[in-house]
Amino acid sequence: MIEIKELKKSFGDLPVLKGMNLTIPSGQATGIVGPNGAGKTTLIKTILGLVKPDSGSIRVNETLLNGNWNYRKDIGYMPQVARYPENMRVHELFSFIKGLRNQEPVFEKELIEQFALESELNKPLRTLSGGNRQKVGATLSMMFNPDILFFDEPTAGLDPRSSHKFKERVKEEKANGKTVIITSHIMSELEQLVDHVIFILDGNIRYYGTMKALLEESREDRLEAAIARMMGDDSPAESAAAEKPVQNYSNTATEILTF
Amino acid sequence: MKSQTLHILSNEWKTLLRGKWVIGYGLIFLMLTDSLLRFGGGGAEALLSLSNVMLLFIPLVGMIYGILYIYQSREFVELLLTQPIDRKVLYWGLFLGISTPLMAAFIIGSMLPLGWHGILILDGSASAMVLGLGGILTLIFVSLGFVLGLKFYDDRIKGFGFTIVIWLFMAILYDGLVLMLVFTFGHYPLERFVIAVSMLNPIDLARIMVMLEFDISALMGYTGAVFSRFFGSNLGIFTAGGMLAIWLAVPTWLGLRVFKQKDF
C-alpha cells in the first residue's frame, strides 16, 4: 500500500509535483501515463527515495518515508535505462545485489530461465545487448519477491518474444497479489497489464480510476485514444467537454480516489 | 553496516582491477620511479623528482577520475540507491571503493622500484612521506571530484570545466599568485598571511612537507620558505600534516552531505 499526501516537489523554480494525493492499495496493478515532463518519473523516484520531497508525506506499507531505507526491501524497481559497470559479469551483478540487499533471492533461477539469460551469465555486462540488459534489470527487480514492483518503460528495448515473456511474468506477479506500477508510453501494453490508470498532467493527477471506467467515460474503446483526448489533442471545446465527465466520475465513483 | 560497506568496496576493487587502467596507472609510476632512480642520480633527487610529478598529476588524475566515475555510473548508482541500503553506507563504499585502488596503484607502483634500488631502507622516512602524501592527495582529490560530479550532476561541461580550473589554480597558479601578492604588498608584514594562504591549498601543503623533509629551501617556493622560517622543520611538517588531515576530512564530509541530500 502506498499513501501519498500533498506531495510537492520543485526543481529550482520549476514545480514538478504540485500537491499530489494518491493511494495505491496493495495488490493493484496501476499504469502511470502522462506527457513527457509531467512528473511521472519524479513521482516514482520520490517513492523510491531517490528524490526528496519539499513537503507532503509518503507511506509505503505503513512506513513513513523520512530518509529511512529499510522499507525498500519490499520494493523492486526496474529502471528505464539499464547501464551497469562494464566489466562486471551478469552473475557477479546478481550476487553483488544479493549481498547489498542482504536477502536471499526467491525467484533467481526461475527468472533467469524465463528470460533465457543462462547463456549470458558469464558475459561482462558491456557485451550484452540492450534487450538483455533490460532483462537483467527485470530479473533484479523481481528476484527477491518484493510486494511492490515498479517498472519504468519496461518493454522499450525488448524484442517481441522477450516483451511477451516479460508481460506474462508481470501477469503472474499480479495474480500473486503484488502491487504493480508501470509507466509506459505504449498504451496497448498498459491495456494488457494494468486495470487502473493514473493520468498525470503538469504535476497534478488529472485522472485516477479503473481503465474500464476511463474508456466508458471518454466514449473511446482504446486507451490511447482516451489518453490522447485528455492530453488535449483534439479541439479545445471538445476536449473541455470530454474532460468534464471524467472528472465527475472520478470524484464520485472511485473509492480509492483522493484528489 | 560495515560488512555492506566492505561488500561494495570489494566489488569496486574487482571491477576496477579488471578494467586494467588502474594497473596501467600504477605501471606508469613504476616506470617513472625506476628510470628516475636509474638515470637521475641519488635517492633523494629521484624522490624529489617523483614528488614533483606526483604533486602535479595526482590531483588532476584524482579529480578527473572521481568526476568521471559519477558521470559514468549514474544509472548504476541510481539503481543501488533504490536498494534497501543507507545512503551513507553506499557513499563510503563507493568512495573508498574507487579511491583506494588508485591510491594503491600509486603507492605500490612507486614503492617497488624504491624497494629494489634500496632507497626504502636508505631514505626510509623521505620515501614514506612521498608515498603517504601521494596517497592522501589521491583521497582528497577523488573526493573533490565526487563533490563536483554530484554538484554538477546534469551539467558535465561545467563539472569538467571546474575540475580543470581548480587543478590549474591549485597546482600551477597558486604559488605564483601568492608571490605576486607578496611582491605588491611587500612593505607590510605578511608572514602570517602567507602561512594562512598556503594552508588553503592541499597541494601547497604537500609540497611544503616534502621540501621541509628534504630541507632544501631553494626549491621551496615562496610559501615553503616562509613556512620553514616560521615553524622550523619538524613543527612545520607537523602543522602542514594536520592541515592536510583537515583537507582530507572536509571534502569527504562535504561529499557525504551532498550525496545524502541529493535528488537523483
Q: CA geometry: angle at A254 spanning A249 and A256, to 5°?
A: 145
Q: Whose CA is closest to B40, among B26, B25, B51?
A: B51
Q: Whose CA is closest to B84, among A99, A201, A242, A55?
A: A99
Report CA-CA distances (Å) from B45 to A123, A181, B58. 48, 65, 19
CATH number, domain of A228, equals 3.40.50.300
Relative to beta strand A148-152, strand A75-78 is parallel
> Hey, is A80 helix, strand or coil?
coil
Q: Residue A171: which domain range?
A: 2-252
- Residue among A17, A44, A96, A136 with most chain B CBs within 10 A, to mutate: A96
Rounded Cα distance between B56 and B227, Å, is 20
Inter-chain residue contact A48 with B11, CB threshold 8 Å: no
Residue-by-residue DSSP string for B109-126: HHHHHHHHTTHHHHTHHH
* Cα within 13 Å of Cα(B194), Cβ side: 27
Q: Whose CA is closest to A115, among A165, A179, A177, A46?
A: A165
Residue type, B208: I
Contact B109, B26 (CB under 8 A): yes
Q: Which residues of A touch B258 (CB under 8 A)?
A: none
Report CA-CA distances (Å) from B55 to B45, B159, B195, B221. 15, 22, 19, 14
Instruction: Give the pLDDT score at B220.
Output: 55
Cell for B159? Answer: 563539472
Residue A228 belongs to a domain: yes
Using only C-alpha atoms, chain B has a radius of gyration, in whole angstroms, of: 19
Rounded Cα distance between A236 and B59, Å, is 59
Contact A91, B14 (CB under 8 A): no
Cell for B209? Answer: 612537507
Closest residue, chain B, to A92 (C-alpha): B11
Instruction: Give the pLDDT score at A129.
Output: 86
A224 CA: distance to closest CA in chain B (Å)? 30
Average pLDDT score, chain A: 82
- Residue among A10, A50, A101 with most chain B CBs within 10 A, to mutate: A50
Closest residue, chain A, to B18 (C-alpha): A87
Inter-chain residue contact B4 with A96, CB threshold 8 Å: no
A138 CA: distance to closest CA in chain B (Å)? 12
Inter-chain residue contact B4 with A85, CB threshold 8 Å: no
Closest residue, chain A, to B82 (C-alpha): A48
Inter-chain residue contact B85 with A101, CB threshold 8 Å: yes
Label residues A59-88 b or e (16+ Cβ within 10 Å = b): bbeeeebeeebebbbbbbbbbbbbbbbebb
* Cα within 13 Å of Cα(B14), Cβ side: 14
Phi, psi of A195 (to 5 degrees): -120, -5
Q: Which residues of A touch B87 (CB under 8 A)?
A: 67, 69
Contact A139, A113 (CB under 8 A): no
* Element (DSSP H or E) covering residue B145: helix B124-151
Instruction: Give the pLDDT score at A243.
Output: 45
Within A149-235, where are the H helices? 160-175, 187-193, 211-217, 223-231
Q: Which residues of A touch B98 (CB under 8 A)?
A: none
Residue A100 belongs to a domain: yes
pTM: 0.84
Closest residue, chain A, to B1 (C-alpha): A100
> Hey, is A124 helix, strand or coil?
strand
Q: Which residues of B touch A149 (CB under 8 A)?
A: none
Q: Give B244-253 contacts, CB < 8 A, sequence gap 24+.
A: B244/B133, B244/B136, B244/B140, B244/B202, B244/B205, B244/B206, B244/B209, B247/B140, B247/B202, B247/B205, B248/B136, B248/B139, B248/B140, B248/B143, B251/B140, B251/B143, B251/B144, B251/B146, B251/B147, B252/B95, B252/B139, B252/B143
Residue A194 belongs to a domain: yes
State the residue for C-alpha cell 561482462.
Answer: A124
Residue B154 near chain A (CB below 8 Å)? no
Where does chain A show beta strands of DSSP type E? 2-11, 14-24, 29-33, 55-60, 63-64, 75-78, 148-152, 179-183, 196-201, 204-210
Residue B85 near chain A (CB below 8 Å)? yes
B18 CA: distance to closest CA in chain A (Å)? 7
Residue B8 near chain A (CB below 8 Å)? yes
Partner-chain residue, chosen from B11, B81, B263, that has the shortest CB–CB distance to A96: B11
Contact A60, A47 (CB under 8 A): yes
Residue B35 near chain A (CB below 8 Å)? no
pLDDT tens digits, chain B, 264 residues: what are they? 668 888 888 888 888 888 788 899 999 999 999 998 888 777 788 888 888 899 999 999 999 999 999 998 888 999 999 999 899 999 999 999 999 999 999 999 999 998 888 888 888 888 888 999 999 999 999 999 999 999 999 899 999 999 999 999 998 888 788 878 878 887 777 777 777 887 888 998 888 888 878 776 555 566 667 777 776 767 778 888 888 899 999 999 999 999 998 888
B161 CA: distance to closest CA in chain A (Å)? 22
What ipTM does the predicted assembly reach? Answer: 0.81
Contact A99, B8 (CB under 8 A): no
In chain B, how long is the greatest CA-to-CA distance?
62
Residue B261 near chain A (CB below 8 Å)? yes
Q: Whose CA is closest to B172, among B64, B67, B58, B55?
A: B55
Rounded Cα distance between A188 and A200, Å, is 18
Residue A258 belongs to a domain: no
Residue A240 belongs to a domain: yes
Inter-chain residue contact A69 with B87, CB threshold 8 Å: yes
Query: Has residue A77 got a pLDDT over 60?
Result: yes
Inter-chain residue contact A99 with B14, CB threshold 8 Å: no
Residue type, B73: S
Residue A259 belongs to a domain: no
Contact B264, B77 (CB under 8 A): yes
A89 DSSP 8-state letter: B
State the residue for C-alpha cell 617556493.
Answer: B221
Instruction: Give the pLDDT score at B221.
Output: 63
B170 DSSP 8-state letter: I
Using one digit for the tens of pLDDT, what is the confidence trace for A235-253? 444 444 444 444 444 433 3
Count of structural domains within chain A: 1
Using one digit for the tens of pLDDT, what is the confidence trace for A133-183? 899 999 999 999 899 999 988 888 788 888 888 898 899 888 988 999 999
Residue type, A18: K
Residue A30 belongs to a domain: yes
State the residue for C-alpha cell 533467469.
Answer: A112
The residues on A that touch B, with CB distances below 8 Å, are 11, 45, 48-52, 67, 69-73, 75, 77, 79, 81-88, 92, 96-97, 99-102, 137, 140
